[in-house]
């Protein structure tokens, strides 16, 4: 009996899922709740029957869902009779479904925005085949957002097992990996940083994927020691466009087949509208969308580049534009640092004063003066935070990224 989902210690089989899909001929176009299995049942039933959905986080406030009638949330609607003889029939129905799914951006730096996707755009990166059918996925993303949907489709279309570890503590994640012999993990760099320190290696994991934030070689090295048998990939994806390309290390390569769908203007990556979902919030420059991602070419002729920063995250410090990611990476390279967040505080003279919050590893005894001394060896003075505060935790967005505002 194949297991579909393991959540909070409870197993749900594909047979159980199929039985519920056939038994309940209703769905909620606007579903909001914390029960992951109920969420997946509603999602699968709607898509397999050709219905469209708006996916809501369980904690979205009224101000964040402007234009949506809250009285319609979790209201059931009857379906025309849909019956499936097997889960494979369900997968086939979803792949051919005309459904559209409305999702919200993560709100990392502002108000969440609605984006509408088709099944085709959501499953662009799904790979199917015999070699994919024995995978066990650590489910480490918010299920209502782009990355969570992409992991779901990859697992579901190959009848894999999903093990929910989203928002789980470090020791609980390791216990889930060991108990369920998880083979694949896909998560934000913040998720992996919060797994440090680690007590031993976990050889069952075959592939580790990072996405949603900038990574660094210090983190890659740590992941390689935790999961010594894993191939490590970094993906470039967004709510607006879905998954576009992958990287080994910190260099991304635009595939030659879609190279003409990208431009770079003032170091910002521009994406052709044909690769995007639909949204009233998109701002175009001709046929190209401003991604907000600042890049640096490594090999322009071959489409090879590094992600530098988000355009709206650059901090003006005394006339200098500071990339907070560069300073964060320098702090994260210091032994004993588990996570770091760099930001600007308004200042009447400088525009902003650069500040940092730092989370230390257990047992580390670093002081502010120690960090500042090490940073002076690697960074220009204006890139070194004037204020460094040690914290015990960080606020995260709904997608598990560091919250920057």
For 299-345, the pLDDT digits (tens) are: 988 888 888 888 878 888 888 888 888 899 899 999 999 999 999 99
Round to whole Å and give the CA distance between 369 and 187: 33
Note the pLDDT of residue 170: 93
Q: Among residues 118, 35, 45, which one has the least CA distance to residue 78?
A: 45
pLDDT tier, 65 (very low <50, low <70, confident <90, very high otherwise): low
Residue 360 has pLDDT above 60, yes or no: yes
Q: Is the dihedral of CA 359, 364, 365, 371 positive or negative?
A: negative
- Dihedral angle sign, alpha carbons of residues 172, 178, 182, 187: positive
pLDDT tens track for 109-168: 456 778 999 999 999 889 999 999 999 999 999 999 899 999 999 999 999 999 999 999
Helix (H) or strand (E) holding 337: strand 337-347
H or E segment to which residue 340 belongs: strand 337-347
pLDDT at 62: 60
pLDDT in tens, 78-112: 998 889 999 999 999 999 999 999 998 765 545 67
Rg over alpha carbons for the chain, rounded to the nearest Å, is 22
Specify the pLDDT at position 187. Answer: 93
The mean pLDDT value of the chain amounts to 89
d(CA 97, CA 390): 50
Higher pLDDT: 304 or 202? It is: 202
Q: Are strands 268-272 and 284-285 parallel, antiparallel or unpaired?
A: unpaired
Give me the sign of the Cα torsion angle 218, 224, 227, 232.
Answer: positive
DSSP strand pairing (304-310 vs 251-253): antiparallel
> Angle at CA 348, nearest 5°, toward 344 and 353?
25
Matching CATH number, 314-390, of 3.30.300.30, 3.40.50.2300, 3.30.420.10, 3.40.50.80: 3.30.300.30
**The pLDDT of residue 201 is above 60:** yes
Q: How far apart are CA 135 and CA 139, in angstroms?
A: 12
CA pseudo-torsion sign 242, 35, 209, 133: negative
Number of Cβ within a 10 Å radius of residue 198: 14
List every span in the chain annotated with CATH 3.40.50.12780.
3-233
Asked whether the bond before 132 is cis by omega within 30 degrees of 0, the reply is: no
* Beta-ladder partners of 126: none
- The number of beta carbons lying within 10 Å of the beta carbon of residue 280 is 9
- Taking CB atoms within 8 Å and a gap of at least 24, the contacts of 258-264 are 259/303, 262/303, 263/288, 264/295, 264/297
Tell me whether strands 288-299 and 284-285 are parallel, antiparallel or unpaired: antiparallel
Q: What is the DSSP letter of 166?
A: T
Condensed to tens digits (0 to 9), the pLDDT of residues 12-50 reads 999 999 999 999 899 999 988 899 999 999 999 999 999
> Where does the chain hold its CATH 3.30.300.30 domain(s)?
314-390
Strands (E), 26-174: 26-27, 30-31, 53-55, 77-78, 100-104, 114-118, 136-139, 161-164
Mean pLDDT value across residues 264-278: 92
Which range among 120-124, 216-220, 238-242 has the greatest average pLDDT? 120-124
The CATH superfamily of 3-233 is ANL, N-terminal domain (3.40.50.12780)
Beta strands in 32-146 (DSSP E): 53-55, 77-78, 100-104, 114-118, 136-139
């Amino acid at each position: 009996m194949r297991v579909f989902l393991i959540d909070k210690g409870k197993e749900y089989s594909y047979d159980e899922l199929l039985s519920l899909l056939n038994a309940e001929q209703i769905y909620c176009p606007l579903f909001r709740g914390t029960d992951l299995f109920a969420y997946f049942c509603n999602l699968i039933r709607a898509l397999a029957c050709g219905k469209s959905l708006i996916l809501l986080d369980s904690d979205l406030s009224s101000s964040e869902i402007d234009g949506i009638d809250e009285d319609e949330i979790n209201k059931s609607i009857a379906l025309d009779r849909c019956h499936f003889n097997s889960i494979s029939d369900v997968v086939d129905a979803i792949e051919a479904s005309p459904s559209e799914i409305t999702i919200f951006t993560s709100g990392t730096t502002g108000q969440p925005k609605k984006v509408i996707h088709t099944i085709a755009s959501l499953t662009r990166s799904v790979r199917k085949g015999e070699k994919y059918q024995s995978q066990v996925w650590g489910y480490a993303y918010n299920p209502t957002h782009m990355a969570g949907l992409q992991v779901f489709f990859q697992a579901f279309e190959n009848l894999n097992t999903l093990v929910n570890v989203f928002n789980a503590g470090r020791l609980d994640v390791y216990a889930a990996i060991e108990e369920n012999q998880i083979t694949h993990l896909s998560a934000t760099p913040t998720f992996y940083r919060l797994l440090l320190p680690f007590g031993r290696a976990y050889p069952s994991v075959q592939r580790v994927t990072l996405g949603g934030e900038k990574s660094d070689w210090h983190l890659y090295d740590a992941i390689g020691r935790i999961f010594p048998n894993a191939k490590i990939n970094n993906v470039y994806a967004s709510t607006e466009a879905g998954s576009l390309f992958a990287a080994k290390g910190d260099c991304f390569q635009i595939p030659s087949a879609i190279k003409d769908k990208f431009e770079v203007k003032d170091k910002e990556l521009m994406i052709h509208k044909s690769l995007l979902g639909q949204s009233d919030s998109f701002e175009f420059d001709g046929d190209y969308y401003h991604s907000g991602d600042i890049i640096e070419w490594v090999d322009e002729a071959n489409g090879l580049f590094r992600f530098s920063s988000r355009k709206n995250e650059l901090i003006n410090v005394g006339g200098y534009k500071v990339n907070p990611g560069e300073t964060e990476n320098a702090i994260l390279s210091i032994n004993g640092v588990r996570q770091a967040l760099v930001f600007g505080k308004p200042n009447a003279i400088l525009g902003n004063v650069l500040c940092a919050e730092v989370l230390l590893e257990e047992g580390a005894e670093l002081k502010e003066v120690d960090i500042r001394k090490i940073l002076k060896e690697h960074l220009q003075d204006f890139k070194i935070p004037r204020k460094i505060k040690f914290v015990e935790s960080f606020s995260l967005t709904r997608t598990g990224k560091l919250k920057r505002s």
